[in-house]
Structure 1
Amino acid sequence: MTTKPAVLVTGGGGYIGSHAVLALMDAGWPVVVIDNLVTGFRFAVPDGVPFVEGDIEDQPLVEQILRQHGIGAIMHFAGSVVVPESVDNPLKYYHNNSAKTRSLIESAVRCGVPHFIFSSTAATYGIPETSPVREDCPQRPINPYGMSKLMSEIMLKDVA
C-alpha cells in the first residue's frame, strides 16, 4: 500500500479551507494547516490536524513545514476576499493575495512540492461576455481583488 503524501492547506482556519481539510481527511489524506488567524479561527481546524499559526510569506517557517511533514501538495486558500475593501485598499490585496502567494510559490518550488492547487475566483473574469462563464473566457478583472487573484494565476502558470 502506498502512503499518501501530506497536503498543506493554507487558510485552513477559514470557511472554505476548513471544509477542504475535512474532505481531505475523509479521503484519507494527511493534512497540515497554516493560518495567520486574521480572519480564520483555530476552532475550525479539526482536532488532530497539525496546525501552525503563521503567515505564508514567512518563507523559513513555510519551508520548515514543507520539509518536516513531507508535503506533496499545497491547497492555497489564504487571502483577502472582500471586493469593496479591495477598491478602498488595493495595496493590501496586492500584498495579501499576490505578494504572499509569490512567496508561497517560491517556497514550494524551492522544496520541490510537485502539486499546487490555487483557489481563485470568478472575479478574474470581470463582467463576462457569456453565461455561464467558462475557464477559457477572457479574464478582465474590474477590481483589485480580481486582479490580485489573476496575478497569482499568472505566476502559477509561469512556474508550472
Structure 2
Amino acid sequence: MLDGSVLVTGGAGYIGSHAVLALLDAGHKVVVYDNLTTGFDWLVDPRATLVRGEIEDDMLVRATMRDHAVRAVMHFAGSIIVPESVSDPLKYYRNNTVASRALIESAVVSGVKHFIFSSTAATYGTPERVPVAEGDPTVPINPYGTSKLMTEAMLRDVAAPRNSSDAPPTS
C-alpha cells in the first residue's frame, strides 16, 4: 500500500473516475484534480477528495500535493477529440503538452516519485501491424497523437536521470 495519496487528474471523467474507484477499492487515499470542463463532480466517489483546478496552476497543484501527502500521480486530464486536434492544434499542444509539462514539474518539485500517464495508441499513427507493440515506431498522424507523444518524451527525459545509478543529486 502506498503511504500517502494518489492524485488523479481528470478523475471526474469516464476513464479517470473508474481508476479512482479501483484505487479506493484497493484501499488508497485518492485526490481527484479536475477542472470539470468535460468531467462531472457527480462522477467523483464521495470517498475521494475533489479539488477543482487547472493542472497548470502550479501553486494550487503543489499545495494539493503537499496538503494531501501525494506520493503518486495518475494523469488522465487532457483533450481527446482527434478531428478537433486537426482544426485547433494549438489547443491540444496547450492542454495536452504545455499543461502536462507544468504538472510534471509540480510533481518533481513536490517530490512525487510515481507518475502514470494515460497516453494513446494515436502516438503510433497508422501502425504497420496489429496488435501494436510498445516498442513499435511512433509516427503520429494528427496533433492529438503528437501532443501525447511529446508528453511521453518529457516524462522519459525527466525520469532518465532519476532512474540512473549515477544520477546527479537534485536540488
Superposed displacement of residue 4, structure 1: 3.0
1:154 maps onto 2:156 in alignment = no
For 2:167, the equivalent position in structure 1 comes to none
Query: Does structure 1 retain, via aligned residues, the 8 Å contact 2:74–2:116?
Result: yes
Superposed displacement of residue 3, structure 1: 6.2
Query: Does structure 1 retain, via aligned residues, the 8 Å contact 2:125–2:145?
Result: yes
Query: Does structure 1 retain, via aligned residues, the 8 Å contact 2:6–2:29?
Result: yes
User: What does 1:69-84 correspond to in 2, within 5 Å?
Assistant: 69-84=68-83
The letter for the 2-side match of 1:85 is: E
Take 1:17 and 1:152, find their aligned partners in 2: how far apart are those partners? 18
For 1:128, the equivalent position in structure 2 comes to 127
Superposed displacement of residue 130, structure 1: 1.1
Count of aligned positions: 159
The normalised TM-score by structure 2 is 0.91
Take 1:112 and 1:46, find their aligned partners in 2: how far apart are those partners? 27
For 1:41, the equivalent position in structure 2 comes to 40
For 2:104, the equivalent position in structure 1 comes to 105
For 2:140, the equivalent position in structure 1 comes to 141
The normalised TM-score by structure 1 is 0.98
The letter for the 2-side match of 1:142 is: I
Take 2:2 and 2:38, find their aligned partners in 1: how far apart are those partners? 33
Superposed displacement of residue 84, structure 1: 0.2
Take 1:56 and 1:132, find their aligned partners in 2: how far apart are those partners? 33
Identity of aligned residues (%): 64
The letter for the 1-side match of 2:114 is: H
The letter for the 2-side match of 1:53 is: R
Superposed displacement of residue 60, structure 1: 0.2
Query: Does structure 1 retain, via aligned residues, the 8 Å contact 2:24–2:48?
Result: no
Residues 111-147 of structure 1: per-residue CA shift (max 9 Å, x gap):
1000000000000000001111000000000000000
For 1:54, the equivalent position in structure 2 comes to 53
For 2:165, the equivalent position in structure 1 comes to none
Take 1:81 and 1:3, find their aligned partners in 2: how far apart are those partners? 30
**What is the RMSD computed on CA atoms of the aligned residues?**
0.9
